[in-house]
């Protein structure tokens, strides 16, 4: 495995980060999880937009342009001879001292990993999965904005720990007011009477690239899409429930907190959106290999 490491391509054994890097010491940095399918990097432009927006929010100067960053991602895939992959692109504050002050870190540090990831078994995509809501509340936007995909994921990890202890694969997190925000690593959607519903960003969630893609697909199909606040009551009584994420893609939920969702099977809209999403992954995004085809 070859890793891009701050201007070099090195074997994974040499891909090391300083113990003084503030990304390690304080979670000061940002990242993107990206997917490559069929020789294309899906929605790469949208992922890079979010990365650079997060950097701006953190006053973190990324030491290369978006075009240069795109080439870093593509070249890392080429060095590993990959056409289908999970990509982890990370920008840390960089090495500094043992204090908190980001001004002590003169230059950001960039690395890119291309590998694979499997969040859930195939049968869960076909038959649906059970999830629970947890007591951990989502970070409030005025404390640590969930819209920045930062290296500090403790809030999500607390929720994941609760799910693990309950023997569940995923957790639904509420915000401080009791409204549904998202899952520990995914966004959440409901279907009710033919309408597709998802929480607004003001609920305290990361606006997922997959989330936005699914919303666009639905609108193109003439499906009404509504972003609004809702509670667990609305989840329990929904006609369909599914989660979305770059790694998770689209996965149906058929049991939430012991409540069977509708007839306990993945719904028609979930299946339709999933099929169109998979078709889109074949044609969207820059080609990894110049002159090649998907």
Under 8 Å between Cβ of 254 and 11: no
292 three-class SS: coil
SS3 for 16-61, per residue? Answer: CCCCCEHHHHHCCEEEEEEEEECCEECCHHHHHHHHHHHHHHCCCC
Catalytic residue at 149? yes
Under 8 Å between Cβ of 188 and 243: yes
Active-site residue, selected from the candidate residues 149, 160, 221, 265:
149
**Distance, CA of 162 to CA of 242 (rounded, Å):** 20
The answer for 82, left when phi > 0, alpha when psi is -120 to 50, beta otherwise, is beta
Per-residue CA distances from 161 to 134, 154, 215, 257 (Å): 10, 10, 29, 16
Name the CA radius of gyration of the chain, rounded.
19
**Distance, CA of 267 to CA of 21 (rounded, Å):** 46
Positions annotated as catalytic residues are 149
């Amino acid at each position: 495995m070859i890793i891009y490491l701050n201007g070099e391509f090195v074997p994974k054994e040499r891909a090391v980060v300083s113990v003084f890097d503030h990304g390690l010491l304080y979670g000061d940095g940002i990242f993107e999880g990206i997917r490559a399918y069929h020789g294309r990097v899906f929605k790469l432009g949208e992922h890079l937009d979010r990365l650079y927006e997060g950097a701006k929010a953190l006053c973190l100067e990324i030491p290369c342009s978006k075009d240069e960053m795109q080439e870093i991602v593509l070249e890392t895939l080429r060095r590993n001879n990959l056409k289908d992959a999970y990509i982890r692109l990370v920008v840390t504050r960089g090495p500094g001292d043992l204090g908190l002050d980001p001004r002590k870190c003169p230059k950001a540090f960039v690395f890119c990993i291309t590998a694979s990831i499997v969040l859930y078994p195939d049968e869960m995509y076909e038959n649906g999965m059970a999830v629970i809501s947890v007591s951990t509340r989502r970070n409030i936007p005025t404390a640590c904005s969930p819209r920045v995909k930062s290296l500090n994921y403790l809030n999500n990890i607390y929720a994941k720990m609760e799910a693990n202890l309950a023997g569940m694969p995923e957790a639904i997190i509420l915000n401080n007011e009791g409204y549904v925000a998202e899952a520990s690593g995914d966004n959440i959607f409901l279907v009710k009477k033919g309408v597709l519903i998802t929480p607004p960003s003001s609920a305290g969630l990361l606006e997922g690239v997959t989330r936005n893609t699914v919303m666009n697909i639905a609108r193109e199909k003439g499906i009404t899409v509504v972003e609004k606040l809702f509670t667990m009551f609305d989840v329990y009584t929904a006609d369909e429930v599914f989660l979305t994420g770059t790694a998770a893609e689209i996965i149906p939920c058929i049991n939430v907190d012991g409540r069977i969702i509708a007839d306990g099977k993945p719904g028609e809209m979930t299946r339709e959106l999933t099929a169109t999403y998979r078709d889109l992954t074949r044609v969207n995004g820059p080609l990894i290999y110049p002159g090649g085809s998907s």
